[in-house]
Amino acid sequence: MQAKILVVDDEPNILDVVATVLEFHGFDVRTAATAAEAHTAAHAFGPDLVVLDVMLPDGDGFDVCRALRRSRPDLGIVFLTAKDAHSERIAGLTYGGDDYVTKPFNTDELVARVRAVLRRTRPGNGPEAADGILRFADVELDERACVVRRAGNPVPLSRTEFDLLRYLMLNSGRVLSRPQIIDEVWSDGYAGASNIVDTYVGYLRRKLGVHGPNLIVTQRGFGYALREGDPE
């Protein structure tokens, strides 16, 4: 299920960048530029997480956070602000924030933090279940038994193929670059060619494709992502 994210920031450029990046990674995004708009949008949209600027023209994000927390204790909140003081970080977490990202920020880091918070606040809707089984579409990956099934059919994988699929499933919807995949699936010290990722993606596509349509999307110039409904 697509996670819904509300982005609140009074700087149009920041608002546009954050919304575009999150939409690119598969999230359903709405935006607001003021505290008043944030309250209205939160009520109408029902987000799973709010990316919230601290300094707003009609109030501050801490008050917005506190109000949202009263009605939605399970709501994920990531503060986004230019303030980098230690006291501000503590205040953000004290008021009920789950994480804190400072401007200027790296968009990959922001997406990673959003995903990490969603995994904690939406455990039943994420790919990872309490039983140790990752699920995406009709694919199940049992981390304990090291077994993969698609549509109930076993899919025999090598250890590297298994690790690659696991990484894609943990980051479903997110575009992962070849260097990111190599660092996670192979090792930081890997010195071979980066096209090894393409080779193993090909292996996975063929093996998973025996029992259904392709799920691994190539984002030209960026990398790969696990998504449904792509014809590739």
Gap between the Cα atoms of 55 and 48, Å rounded: 22
Average pLDDT in the 155-163 region? 93
Mean per-residue pLDDT, 81-85: 64
| Cis omega (within 30 of 0) for bond into 104 | yes
Q: How far apart are CA 171 and CA 127, in angstroms?
A: 8
The whole-angstrom separation of Cα 124 and Cα 14 is 31
Of residues 5 and 123, more confidently modeled: 5
pLDDT of residue 106: 85
Whole-angstrom distance, CA of residue 29 vs CA of residue 50: 10
pLDDT at 96 over 70: no
pLDDT at 127 over 70: no
Tens-place pLDDT, residues 182-197? 877 886 566 677 789 9
Residue 131 has pLDDT above 70, yes or no: no
Cα–Cα distances (Å) from 226 to 176, 214, 219, 229, in that order, read: 9, 9, 11, 10
Q: How is 106-139 classified by DSSP, letter by letter?
A: -HHHHHHHHHHHHHHH-TTTSSB-TTSEEEETTE
Longest dimension (CA), the chain: 57
Asked if residue 15 has pLDDT above 60, the reply is: yes
Full-prediction pTM beyond 0.75?
no
Please state, in angstroms and rounded to a whole number, the distance separating the CA atoms of residues 147 and 156: 8
Name the percent of the chain lying above pLDDT 90: 41
Q: According to the model, what pLDDT value does residue 87 have?
A: 55
